[in-house]
Amino acid sequence: MPERPGSPTAEARRDELAERLFGSINATFDLAAVYIGDRLGLFRALAETGPSTSVELAAGTGLVERYVREWLEHGAVIGFLLADEAEDALARRYRLPEGHEEVFLDELSLAYTTPMIRAVAAAMRRLPEIMDVFAEGGGVPWSDYGPDLREGQAAGNRPQFHHLLGTDWLPAITDVHERLMVDPPARIADLGCGAGWSTIAIARAYPKARVDGIDLDDPAIAQARRNLEGSGVADRVAFHARDAAEPALRGAFDLVTIFEAVHDMSQPVAVLRAARELLAPGGTLLVVDERVAERFTAPGDDIERLMYGFSLLVCLTNAMAEEPSVGTGTVMRPETMRRYALDAGFREMTILPIEHPIFRFYRLDP
């Protein structure tokens, strides 16, 4: 590509890139420190006991004081924690600044960010296998990423479902909302439901409705069943460990939903076709997937960067683990979704005018 007049010199670009990577290295260490603080219960202990020395925090968590002290000092240096003025390192007290507790610990807050960091840690741990599939083909199954990815994904989306799904997203689709409110009780199938937080949120929002959550990942369904306990909707929700593409799946569902899962599927058209079969006359399929740009643009914005990052390390490798696979990846553009919808026999796909920084909402009518 020809250089434009006035474009930066090679030296300026070199310096800019080196500086940017230096920042990325520090940002990576920030994430590692959050991961440690989350998984070892250090944030929780600090929040519960208030300002603490390394000796007190180590005693309270059963961890080794020298490591706890390094974590505290690092946390204060990067501004995640506050430290008092004590010169003596062992006497210095640390606490969470107001506001940070919500980001690190509040499971229902829309600002809760630690789960996504768990997912990033799970992805980084699989780098050797990811490089192998670059050379040999195939993929890295979702299950190989372990609990950090499964639980990180579920906990990351939980606040969105808890606060927005039943009070904002579904009510915005007026005809669907009205159907879910009335008799005879509506039936809903939530495909690729993971740990079931979306399934449970729908049942909570619509007290007459019966909701089935379906996912092919056995541990996710086991977790979904645990999440259902004590939710108050266990009598109207059932979870099933099975492939959503199975033609055996039959029903008369007024609504079928798929949250953040179409791009992960090796055969999305087969699943969409099965979803279409599940719909009762007048029923609707709602697909919620990433709000990526309409077309490839480089350089891209922060959402595009995030989605390509997850695609490279998780979603594409996961989708390619089953063969054959169409290999969608996280960056599923609206035109790709439209093609899948039409190939699956849907008459129409509409992008719904629901605002969300990360998700785009697709309505598919048979």
Ligand X SMILES: C[S@@+](CC[C@H](N)C(=O)[O-])C[C@H]1O[C@@H](n2cnc3c(N)ncnc32)[C@H](O)[C@@H]1O
Q: Which residues within the stretch 270-309 sit at the binding site for ligand X (CB under 6 A)?
A: 271
Give me the residues paired with residue 258 across strands: 191, 287
201 binds ligand X (CB under 6 A): no
CA pair distance 366, 364, nearest whole angstrom: 7
Write the interaction track for ligand X spanning residues 128-147; mark x where CB under 6 A is met and - where it is not.
--------------x-----
194 touches ligand X (CB under 6 A) = yes
Give the three-class secondary structure for 168. Answer: helix
Among 81, 202, 265, 331, indicate the residue that binds ligand X (CB under 6 A). 265
Does residue 162 contact residue 203 with C-beta atoms inside 8 Å?
A: no
**Residue 166 touching ligand X (CB under 6 A):** no
Cβ partners under 8 Å of residue 87, min gap 6? none
**Do the Cβ atoms of 66 and 90 come closer than 8 Å?**
no
Per CB under 6 A, the segment of 106-114, 263-271, 305-313, 345-353 that binds ligand X is 263-271
Tokens representing 295? 């077309």
Residue number with CB closer to ligand X (56 or 264): 264
Q: How far is the CB of 88 from ligand X (least distance, A)?
A: 46
Which single residue is written with the structure tokens 């919808």?
A: 341
| Residue number, 71 or 362, with CB nearest to ligand X | 362
Q: List Cβ neighbours of 360 (8 Å cut-off, separation of 6 or more).
A: 288, 289, 290, 291, 292, 334, 351
Q: Which amino acid is at 226?
A: R
Q: Which is nearer to ligand X, 157 or 227 (CB)?
A: 157
19-48 positions binding ligand X, by CB under 6 A: none
Q: Which is nearer to ligand X, 92 or 162 (CB)?
A: 162
217 near ligand X, rule: CB under 6 A = yes
**Residue whose beta carbon is closest to ligand X:** 194
What lies within 8 Å, CB to CB, of 279 at 6+ separation is 252, 253, 254, 256, 285, 366
User: What string marks each residue from 233 to 262 as x (binds ligand X by CB under 6 A) or -?
Assistant: ----------xxx-------------xxx-
Structure tokens at 115: 């789960």
**The one among 46, 119, 216, 237 contacting ligand X by CB under 6 A:** 216
Q: Which is nearer to ligand X, 240 or 333 (CB)?
A: 240
Within 62-121, which residues bind ligand X (CB under 6 A)?
Answer: none
- Within a 10 A sphere around the Cβ of 345, how many other Cβ atoms? 13
Helices (H) and strands (E) in the chain, counts: 15, 9
**Which residues sit at the interface with ligand X, rule CB under 6 A?**
142, 153-154, 157, 191-194, 198, 214-217, 220, 243-245, 259-261, 264-265, 271
